[in-house]
Amino acid sequence: MDASTVTVAVWNIEADGGRSGEHRHAAIDLLASLKPDVFLQQEAKYSRERGEQLKYITEKQLRLRGFLSSPNPFIDADIATSLYLRPEMFQVVKQKPCAKTWYLHPCHVQAQLGDCPIPLNLASFHMCFFDAGTRLTEAGWLTTLAQPGMVTIAAGDTNSYPHRLEPISLPVWEKVTDRAHMVHRTVMDSSGIRRSDTGPDHALIDAEYVDLARHAADHLGSDGAGALAATAGFRKPQQGGPQRIDRGYAAGGAATALEHVEVIEHKDFDHALLLYRFNRTRLERMLTPSPRTATS
């Protein structure tokens, strides 16, 4: 923990590290070494079981306070998302229940950073894996956290692609042998050709979210080197190979506080860990109304 920074870790931990913690210890050990102040987890598959035992173990090991997304009783496999905060740094205002537009509910918490009067919205999300239309609706819900006056950091598994050209080429769908996956990750254009689904990213950027990795690559020099690296698909050549589907976004000026981005692969997991470091003073400035705003 560095008092001058706010460190946000984002990780889709495959199957929660296992019901019996087969791989979870490795994940938590790595996270503990990075000392995150915020941890946004996806695929918290077993964290509701046994009285939320895995959540409480994670709280103790990382010295953070944990939250789980609201259950979704309308799907067969309700896999939670989770969110952990450093209690000495954040005062929780409220945990907001999710709109039911999501296939897997996100975990959304409003918290005050120190004495800042404007709450910071934090959201851990996992977009639908099989349907582009559902993902676009889910992105639409995230845009409600980018309305004027709101400051938000939202991150997770988008199961879709950036709409801008990047160092990693998008899959060549004619060569992808997993044809179900091809349908899951594409949209059909007016001529009947399937294109990579970039709709969620496009919607979020149109709503004035900032893709944090893109911002780092464009503006942070060596601190953004490697920010656009692949985050998943390392062992799935039949699905088109590695791609940057796990992404973090910021709204309301939070991106201006970003100082450093890392993408950290781990041999035991199918998704990389994302690490974002924010300058605390600059972030606090975004969460404090200016004298003109306060008196108007």
DSSP-assigned beta bridge partners for residue 204: none
> Which of the residue ranges 39-43, 101-105, 203-207, 242-246 would you say has the lowest mean pLDDT?
101-105
Convert 271-294 to b/e letters by CB count within 10 Å (16 or more is b): bbbbbbbbbbeebbebbbeeeeee
Stretch 103-128: mean pLDDT, rounded?
Answer: 97
pLDDT confidence of residue 1? 62
In the chain, pLDDT over 70 holds for what percent of residues?
97
- CA atoms of 79 and 15, how far apart (whole Å): 9
Q: pLDDT for 47-89, tens place per residue?
A: 999 999 999 999 999 999 999 999 888 777 789 999 999 999 9
pLDDT confidence of residue 292? 58
Stretch 260-272: mean pLDDT, rounded?
Answer: 95
pLDDT confidence of residue 180? 98
**Structure tokens given for 16:** 């929660």
pLDDT at 246 over 70: yes
Phi, then psi, of 155 in degrees rounded to 5: -155, 155
pLDDT confidence of residue 280? 98
Residue type, 266: H
3-state helix, strand, coil in the chain (%, to 5): 30, 30, 40
Q: pLDDT band at residue 3, thresholds of 50, 70 and 90? A: confident
Residue type, 263: V
pLDDT confidence of residue 295? 47
In the chain, pLDDT over 90 holds for what percent of residues?
85
pLDDT confidence of residue 100? 79
- CA atoms of 38 and 165, how far apart (whole Å): 30
Task: Give the distance from CA 208 to its chain's centroid.
Answer: 17
Q: Is residue 173 a contact partner of residue 186, using CB atoms and an 8 Å limit?
A: yes
pLDDT confidence of residue 120? 98
Stretch 265-274: mean pLDDT, rounded?
Answer: 94
pLDDT confidence of residue 2? 74
pLDDT at 250 over 60: yes
Residue type, 279: N
- The structure tokens 């077993």 sit at 46
Residue type, 177: T
What's the chain's average pLDDT?
94
- How many CB atoms sit inside 10 A of residue 189's CB? 9
Q: What Å distances lie between residue 87 and 10, 59, 64, 92, CA to CA? A: 18, 10, 6, 8
